Structure 1
Amino acid sequence: MNIDSYFVLSVFVGTIIGLIKFQQRPAFVFGITLLILFVSNMVSTEQVVSSFANQGLLTLILLLVCSLALEKTRFLRMIATKVIHKSYGKTFFHLFSFTVLSSALLNNTAVVSTMLAPIRNNPHHAGSKLLLPLSYAAILGGTLTLVGTSTNLIVNSLVIGAGLPPLSFFDFTLVGICLVITCGIALWFLSRFLPEHHVNSEVLKTYFIDAKVGEKSTLVGKTIEENGFRQLESLFLVEIVRAEHLLSPVPPTEVLQINDRLIFSGDVAKVQQLNQFDGLSIFAHHQGLRLDNLTEVVIRPESVLLGRTLKKAGFRALFDAAVVAIKRDGENLSGKLGEVTLNAGDYLVLAVGDDFKSRRNISKNFILVSGVELDSMLSGGKALLAILGFFAAILGSALGLFTLFKGLIILLGLLILTGSVSSGELLRRLPAELWLIISSALALSYSLKNSGLLDVFSVFMDNYALGISPLFALVIIYILTWLLTELVTNNAAAALIFPIAYGLAVTLDANPMAFIMAVAFGASGSFVSPYGYQTNLMVFNAGQYKLIDFVKIGLPVSIIYGVVAVTAITLVFGL
């Protein structure tokens, strides 16, 4: 080994140690790795540029960005409302099936994000009985296709970077089906050991939002559950004001009537969800103001509003603004929004008119906090474009009509031209950290080749590993990838083990495809740790789980997953 080989080997080992030590900052670790390799001339400028512009990586970025428009439609939420049933067995089967199928075509993180609220707030079963199966189902569903999980797309980008033909859409499917069936059955039997935590939503520090059911609303005559109010994301129906009566808590069987005032508590940024309900209008709508220009303020101690209600204060005339939501720290608010007596320190979210900023009384009455950016929803033709366009890009790629990269580029162009997504939304959604991680990993693989370290590894295998069978080597690669994905993250594990797996396959004259698949499936097999996979981390907090819950359920699933994955890879791809 020369000096360059020793240097790159130390960087490689240091990267793994850094990822284990700084588990929550993989981008930081990989960024330092890239900087060291570039400054030391272990990778060229052309190779760094090539790493960031890798077609497989850009396809992954495009997929995540384009899925933003799909998440802004009602598509997934509408389906999610049909999953919950009184029977746990029926709910489990529907949840598992829906999540697996959705995760095969959509980014599984987006699927779990959409399902979190309906599962957590369902009236029939403890959220903790369903949230862990939700995450595991999303992981399993992601193994079915090329686009099911970012891990598969990362492996594809590494394959392209190694000069091999790109993976096809269904290369993962046969092995994935075996894993879905066997692990799904195991998960069903293990679900009896899940804890039963009834998740209580904290409403004391969230906004209080008032909406009214109109005379011609299609909500009238249907129950709360039938109308889908239990499946809202980060908004909770806490009470109904009906004439002079107050209903709280609100049972899921309560039938809505004309002029009911629905009182929600939650994240005001999610208030646009209420627009999807026909005939439901927010308090600010009655004041003739739209919700696309919101401002958060705090009422000053010397304000003229103190001790008065919004209705009696003539709020719109005073400030050219209407209150969308109100929050009072440490106290639950109740009743109609317009009848709440205002106190100093109350937080208000205002829909403001054109004259709001020019009014001289604003600074005397309010402390301006910030603008409020809403999570907007798509409807009509834009929603149709987002849904049909996304599935057309996936289907066209699956049928070989065009590459997924080309389909997503066209779709993104249409989404921008029609205003379905804004440049600001795209910038916020751009997965910059993921881009840096994968690009750095590609650069690291270039450095392994440039320094001659892969050649040294090949000579070592020729001299000392001639007796190793391809099957034993495949098992070792799978176990290494699986252990690393539990210790760090699935993306980092795939990026680090890929060059070793490919080099080992070439040395042993084995089928590289089998070793590539071992890396892909091993990196997706994170069931024991809540930190190894993003969907696990999402449900970890939402379901109030402990680490032992993941070990108790995840370890048996991991063992079954590993045995089935290696067996199926061997049978499907051969060695």
Structure 2
Amino acid sequence: MLDFNAILVLLVLLFIIVSLYFEIVGPGFTFVIAIAVLSAFRVVTPSEVLSGFANEQIMNIIMLLLLGDIFRRTTILDIFFDKIFKQAKTPKRFMLRMMVVVAPLSAFLNNTPLVAILIPYIHNWSKKNKTSVSKLLMPLSFAAILGGTATLIGTSTNMIVNGLVVDQKIIPNLKPLEMFDFAYVGVPMVIIGIIYMMFIGDKLMPDNTETITVTDEAKRDYLFELQVKSGSDFIGIERSKVPFLKNEGFILVEVLRNGILHQQIDRNFIFEEDDILTFAGNKERIADLINADKNLVIPSVGMFSKRTQSKVIEIVVSHKSNMIGKKIIHENFRGNYDATVLAIHRNGENLTGEIANVELRAGDALLLMTGNQFDRLSKSSNEFYTISKIKELRRLGVFRSFILIGGLLTVIALNVLGVGKLFTGLLVLLILTQLFKIVTPKELAKSVDYQLALIIALSLALGLAMIKTGVADVLANGVLYIFEPLGKHGMLFGIYFITSLLAAFITNKAAVAIVFPISLSVALQLGVDTTPFILVVSFAAAANFMTPIGYQTNLMIYGPGGYKFNDFLKVGTPLTIIYMIVTVLILSFIYL
């Protein structure tokens, strides 16, 4: 019989799943509410809640993310990629070369900055070679995910699991995971994943061109606004008599006049001064229309004259951006970034009303008209990823490059050999980046992902609450009841399936926090080695290919690739099934 505390923990788990799935509040605040409730009812003590923030693995994750961001801001990887991709002449060769390079790099570098750096390369290469960008961005994200699962430090998910191993109270002196414990599954899956994407995934991926047609088939329609200026030639003119509205590859969606939205714009609609016209169209067409100066101006953008050296840049809202949930009008793009929002694109949704009043979501693609200060002001921002390549990045000399690259390789090597702790090595390396002015303290402070640190620390408290109240054992019994007829191997399949499903539709961090104590309890009740039941949770949560919301790199390419939600299901589901089968077979062979 479950007591009050156990029922409360179950209700909190349900709240976390529902809140994350329906985006009721942000992930960080969801965990804060959950743990606050558990703490208020003394399910967990304040010291137990705060102990998560002192977890060594959390600090390792933060420091690795900081180092990854330093790589992103310098030209080290840019120069490397320039040389690697210069010789690729066909889309298939480019895809192969890209995946072969990205997967090993993401095993030791955080994959988010890697993908952020490469999106502009792929965008420009596909445009130059007249190739659909949608055929290349998904392989980029999947290669980063595949490579990240091959080592302990390749993805924060693996390190979170290791943190849970160290912090758990069920098994005394449970051995932490080591750097290459993940390689037995991760390395074969990198090879299998690349082969899959080259020969099967390539056929399943959409071919989204950037040519806009006036049909529902248009893949990359942006919404953008222009205002009828004073003295315009077509004030008082019917829509049917405005030539450029007929044939320039964009659609007039609606007109805002004196606060009233007009969505039925027939051929007899007459334009008036200060009307705000909302168009849907291709981003190149937007720039053409603005530059053509057809009696239209960008609303409230006096700072950008068409005679100044401004440029149109495409960005994607980051998964950890503070802009998420806020209206565009409340984000001071002009003051913060010397930029103005021209247009917004959100996959699979028809956005209506003023662009300024649109609430931003992770993965939204925005077109900005930028001034001369944009590059400098946006360089240290983690609010968004720039799709149009910015050339003016900080260039490092040979000595500083050696410190950064050589230092990271040394830290990893010493950790693998058991000579030095990862925490100590990363801390020393970050200090060196300050001493040699590779990055400023201000830039470093801006790079910290506080929400991620909060989620990880509080997830440790959630796992502890599940164990203390017996909820982990109860849920483990449920898993055993369903999958026990299939044997130990079937139990691994069951744990993988549950974790993968949760990770696909909430977040992988939350999935790990919920399933880890259950998986550990299952292993104990079966009386088998706990290692495969720990690793299977990590692989299932990290190898997330089925949805754009399941992994941050999928979200990053969602808008720029013009993908629909179903595209990830179509390409990612077979790969997820293959990954599950390979993982269970290898872990069973080695440990069971």
TM norm. shorter chain > 0.5: yes
Q: Count residues in correspondence.
A: 437
Q: Does 1:121 align with 2:131?
A: no
Determine the C-alpha separation between the residues in 1 that align with 2:16 and 2:490: 26
Matching of residue 556 in structure 1 with residue 569 in structure 2? no
CA displacement at 1:193 relative to structure 2:
3.1
Of the structure 1 ranges 444-453 and 31-40, higher mean CA displacement relative to structure 2 is found in 444-453
Q: Does 1:145 align with 2:151?
A: yes
Q: Deviations over 1:294-341 (max 9, x none)?
A: x978xxxxxxxxxxxxxxxxxxxxxxxxxx9999989xxxxxxxxxxx
Per the TM alignment, residue 519 of structure 1 is displaced from its structure 2 partner at its CA by 0.2
Structure 2 match to 1:69? 70
Deviation at 1:496, TM superposition (A): 1.4
Letter paired with 2:207: E
- Rounded to whole Å, the distance in 2 between the matches of 1:54 and 1:176 is 25
Report the CA distance shift for 1:140/1:160 in structure 2 as closer, same or farther (over 3 A): same
Rounded Cα–Cα distance in structure 2 between residues aligned with 1:465 and 1:296 = 56
Partners of 1:518 and 1:392 in 2: how far apart?
29
Residue of structure 2 in register with 1:379 after alignment: 396
Q: Which residue of 2 aligns with 1:415?
A: 433
After TM superposition, give the deviation of residue 72 of structure 1 in Å.
Answer: 2.3
Match of 2:136 among 108, 130, 135: 130
CA offsets per residue over residues 71-93 of structure 1, 9 Å max, x none?
Answer: 22222112222225212222121
User: Which residues of 2 match residues 444-463 of structure 1 at below 5 A?
Assistant: 444-454=462-472
Alignment of 1:42-81 (within 5 A): 42-81=43-82
Structure 1 length as normaliser, TM-score? 0.69
1:507 equivalent in alignment to 2:525: yes
CA separation of 1:104/1:350 partners in 2, compared to 1, >3 Å: closer, same or farther? closer
Where does residue 94 of structure 2 map in the other structure? 91
After superposition, give the CA deviation of every residue in 1:521-556 in whole Å (9 maximum; x if it has no partner).
100221111111101111111111112221221122
Other-structure match for 1:192: 203
Separation (CA, whole Å) in 2 of partners of 1:114 and 1:350: 20
Q: Assess, with a 3 A threshold, how the Cα gap between structure 1 residues 440 and 185 changes in structure 2: closer, same or farther.
A: same
The aligned counterpart of 2:23 is 22
**CA-atom RMSD in angstroms:** 3.5
- Residue type of the alignment partner of 1:520: S
- Which residue identity is paired with 1:128? S
Please say if residues 476 and 519 of structure 2, whose CA atoms lie closer than 8 Å, have aligned partners that are also in contact: no
Residues 349/79 of structure 1: CA separation in 2 closer, same or farther (3 Å cut): closer
1:452 and 1:75, CA in 2 relative to 1: closer, same or farther beyond 3 A? same
Q: Specify the code of the residue in structure 2 equivalent to 1:193.
A: L
CA contact (8 A) 2:473 2:518 kept: no
CA-CA distance at 1:176 after TM superposition? 0.7
Where 1:469 maps in the other structure, the secondary structure is: helix
Q: Secondary structure at the match of 1:424?
A: helix
Letter in 1 for 2:421: T
Superposed displacement of residue 489, structure 1:
1.4
| Alignment TM-score, normalising by the size of structure 2 | 0.67
CA distance in 2: counterparts of 1:31 and 1:449, whole angstroms: 19
Task: Tell me which amino acid in the other structure corresponds to 1:50.
Answer: S
Q: Tell me how far apart the structure 1 counterparts of residues 510 and 377 of structure 2 sit (CA, whole Å).
A: 35
One of 449, 474, 492 as aligned partner of 1:474? 492
Contact 1:73 1:383 in 2 (8 A): no
- Residue 467 (structure 1) shift: 6.0
Secondary structure at 2:85's aligned position in 1? Answer: coil
Instruction: Look at both structures and tell me which one has the larger radius of gyration over its CA atoms.
Output: 1
Match of 1:165 among 167, 175, 190: 175
How far apart, CA to CA, are the structure 1 residues paired with 2:41 and 2:121? 51
Contact residue 548 and residue 558 of structure 2 kept, 8 A: yes
Q: Residue 371 and residue 446 in structure 1: after superposition, are their counterparts in 2 closer, same or farther (change >3 A)? A: same
Q: Is the 8 A contact 2:310 2:370 kept in 1?
A: no
Aligned mates of 1:443, 1:350 — CA distance in 2 = 44
Task: Tell whether the 8 Å contact from 1:120 to 1:543 is kept in structure 2 after alignment.
Answer: no
Deviation at 1:117, TM superposition (A): 0.3
Q: Cα distance, 1:464 vs. partner?
A: 10
Please state whether the residue corresponding to 2:107 is helix, strand or coil: helix
In structure 1, give the amino acid aligned to 2:95: F
Structure 1: gaps spanning 5 or more residues: 206-237, 239-262, 270-294, 298-323, 331-345, 352-369
Query: Tell me, what secondary structure is at the counterpart of 1:481?
Result: helix
Partners of 1:14 and 1:555 lie apart in 2 by 27
1:217-243 per-residue CA deviation (whole Å, 9 max, x = no partner) reads: xxxxxxxxxxxxxxxxxxxxx9xxxxx
Query: Cα gap change, 1:67/1:485 in structure 2, threshold over 3 Å: closer, same or farther?
Result: same
Q: Shift of the alpha carbon at 1:558?
A: 1.5
CA distance in 2 between counterparts of 1:393 and 1:27 reads 31
- With over 3 angstroms needed to count, the CA separation of the structure-2 counterparts of 1:141 and 1:24, relative to structure 1, is farther
Deviations 1:395-420 (A, max 9, x none): 22222221211110111111223332
Look up the match of 1:398. 416
Q: Relative to structure 1, is the Cα distance of residues 175 and 374 closer, same or farther in structure 2, using a 3 angstrom cutoff? A: closer
Q: Is the 8 A contact 1:146 1:172 kept in 2?
A: yes
Q: Which residue of 1 aligns with 2:383?
A: none
Of residues 26-35 and 66-75 in structure 1, the stretch that sits farther from structure 2 once superposed is: 66-75
The 1:492/1:29 distance shift into structure 2, 3 A limit, reads: same
Which runs of structure 2 are paired with 1:122-521 in the superposition (5 Å)? 122=125, 123-124=128-129, 125-162=131-168, 164-190=174-200, 191-199=202-210, 265-266=311-312, 349=372, 372=377, 374-375=379-380, 377-380=394-397, 381-454=399-472, 469-521=487-539
Equivalent position SS for 1:100: helix
Say if 1:296 and 1:372, in contact at 8 Å, map to a contact too: no
Query: What is the distance in 2 between the residues matched to 1:110 and 1:18?
Result: 28
Instruction: Tell me the equivalent position of 1:41.
Output: 42
Counterpart for residue 525 of structure 1:
543
Q: Indicate if the aligned counterparts of 2:19 and 2:25 stay in contact, CA closer than 8 A.
A: no
Give the letter for the 1:55 counterpart: E
Alignment partners' CA distance in 1, 2:341 and 2:8: 58
2:162 counterpart letter in structure 1 = N
Indicate how the Cα distance of structure 1 residues 264 and 83 shifts in structure 2: closer, same or farther if over 3 A, else same.
farther
Structure 1 residue matching 2:407: 3-state secondary structure: helix
Residue 57 of structure 1, CA deviation: 1.4
1:329/1:93 CA distance change after superposition, 3 Å: closer
Q: Which of 101, 105, 115 is equivalent to 2:104?
A: 101
In structure 1, distance between residues paired with 2:13 and 2:423: 31
Identity of counterpart residues, as a percentage? 33
Q: Contact 1:120–1:126 (CA<8 Å) still a contact in 2?
A: no
Letter in 2 for 1:524: A
Paired residues of 2:35 and 2:458 also in contact (CA < 8 A): yes
Q: In structure 1, give the amino acid aligned to 2:69.
A: L
8 Å Cα contact 1:143-1:149 kept in structure 2: yes
* Aligned mates of 1:116, 1:462 — CA distance in 2: 44
Displacement of 1:268 in angstroms is 12
Q: 1:407 to 1:37 in 2, by over 3 A?
A: same
Retained in 2: the 8 A contact 1:128–1:195? Answer: yes
